[in-house]
Amino acid sequence: MERSLVIIKPDGVQRGLIGETLARFEKRGLKIVALKLMLIDRPLAERHYAVHKGKFFYESLISYITSCPVVVALVEGPEAIKVLRAMVGATRPSEAASGTIRGDYALQGLRNLIHASDSPETAQYETSLFFTPPEILPYARDVDRWIYES
């Protein structure tokens, strides 16, 4: 099983898309193993977005992600990263395909509703920023035998 960090960003929270977004993941067969509503402070935002430091949009990105609560989830499933990235859609909402979260609900720029890890290494690093090991609750679901191949 693979895990990916997902952040429902401030615009997703403000627009009431938390339930819709999480439901899409569950309907697809992915399992949520950690979940929290939180405010991201500047130091955490800077660690999370360190790869973008020095880019023209960095300060507005930090300001945006710290502007109101976000929902952070750890999602698990076979090829979870690849599956989630496909479900989320292109970073630029105007390029996101219809049927993806961004393609269905986002319009422009930083207001792209959601973040999902882009690699196993990134997922591991991001998970460590937002969750401690006791907050991650792996569990069995009876329905998994109908979703996952043996």
Active site (catalytic) residues: 115
Closest by CA to 70, choosing from 93, 41, 90, 98, is 41
Closest C-alpha to 5, from 125, 134, 86: 125
CB atoms within 10 A of CB 134: 7
